[in-house]
């Protein structure tokens, strides 16, 4: 942290985001779900720090409440895909049989589709609910971790310490989880931090086109969509502030991912 300013900045952004995810509803000066017809399209002021949207909702309250939605989707979805991807990647890399080949071909098939188009189709099929968005985020990220872990497992499974563990009577499954995976998952953990930012962008994109979190739930992408039609009239605040929140949060997780990459790779430390 002393030598890498980017990681420190990213970590601060992440900590603030997590703090808002937990305490945002308490800190919000107004009810983020309540519309006030008497305060429609108010510009930023002392009363409404970020102004109000076309429905009369306080943008500041909704912006600081939104991490409870966006970060929950991103964290749960990424954690689920990370866990499943590590297990499948370890299996396909350590065993060479018909099942591992089938898993690899399914992963190839999933990665052949544009992620956003596939996500949009999956949410349309499963329904416009928060839990379904989480499932879609997890589903799309599994092939990334699978291939990353599989490549690392293949590179270490024939090393001396792995062969020694098998020679002393350890089963392949025990050797995989006890000796192989702990030595190869660092790259997956680094990728997870970056993917959290990607998941936030994906969630916001889906909500922006009306395929993600439904209005009036406070979600950054949906807030941008609500205010997009008023930008041409000079009412920029409805979309700019939630857009900045997305950019800053995604940047924070990306900076943390870069710092973790340096931390886990001694050759990159200065």
Domain boundaries, the chain: 75-270
pLDDT of residue 270: 57
pLDDT tens, position by position, 98-107: 899 999 999 9
52, β-bridge pairs:
58
The yes-or-no verdict on residue 2 having pLDDT over 90 is no
pLDDT of residue 220: 93
d(CA 30, CA 62): 9
Please provide the DSSP assignment of 57-77 as one string.
Answer: -BHHHHHHHTHHHHHHHHHHH
Of 191, 247, 246, nearest in space to 79 by CA: 191
Q: What is the CATH number of domain 75-270?
A: 1.10.3720.10
pLDDT of residue 36: 86
pLDDT tens, position by position, 47-69: 999 999 888 899 999 999 999 99
Count the neighbouring beta carbons within 10 Å of the beta carbon of residue 240.
Answer: 17
Q: Is 171 exposed, middle or buried (0-12, 13-18, 19+ CB in 10 A)?
A: exposed
The yes-or-no verdict on residue 215 having pLDDT over 90 is no
pTM for the predicted model, two decimal places: 0.89
pLDDT of residue 258: 83
pLDDT of residue 162: 82
* Structure token digits, residue 59: 């943008």
The yes-or-no verdict on residue 171 having pLDDT over 70 is yes
Q: Is 167 exposed, middle or buried (0-12, 13-18, 19+ CB in 10 A)?
A: exposed
């Amino acid at each position: 942290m002393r030598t890498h300013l980017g990681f420190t900045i990213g970590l601060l952004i992440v900590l603030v985001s997590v703090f808002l995810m937990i305490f945002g509803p308490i800190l919000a000066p107004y009810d983020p779900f309540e519309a006030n017809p008497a305060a429609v399209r108010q510009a930023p002021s002392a009363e409404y720090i970020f102004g109000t949207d076309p429905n009369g909702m306080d943008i500041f309250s909704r912006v600081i409440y939104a991490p409870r939605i966006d970060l929950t989707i991103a964290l749960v979805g990424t954690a689920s895909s990370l866990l499943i991807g590590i297990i499948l990647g370890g299996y396909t890399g350590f065993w060479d049989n018909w099942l591992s080949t089938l898993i690899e071909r399914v992963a190839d098939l999933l990665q052949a589709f544009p992620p956003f188009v596939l996500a949009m189709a999956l949410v349309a099929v499963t329904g416009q609910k928060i839990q379904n968005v989480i499932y879609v985020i997890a589903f799309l990220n599994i092939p990334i971790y699978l291939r990353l872990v599989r490549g690392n497992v293949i590179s270490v499974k024939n090393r001396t310490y792995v062969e020694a563990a098998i020679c002393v009577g350890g089963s392949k499954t025990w050797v995989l989880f006890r000796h192989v995976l702990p030595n190869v998952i660092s790259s997956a953990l680094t990728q997870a931090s970056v993917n959290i930012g990607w998941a936030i962008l994906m969630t916001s994109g889906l909500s922006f086109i009306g395929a993600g979190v439904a209005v009036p739930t406070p979600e950054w992408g949906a807030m941008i969509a609500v205010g997009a039609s008023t930008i041409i009239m000079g009412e920029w605040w409805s979309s700019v502030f939630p857009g900045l929140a997305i950019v800053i949060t995604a940047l924070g997780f990306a900076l943390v991912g870069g710092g973790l990459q340096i931390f886990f790779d001694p050759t990159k430390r200065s």
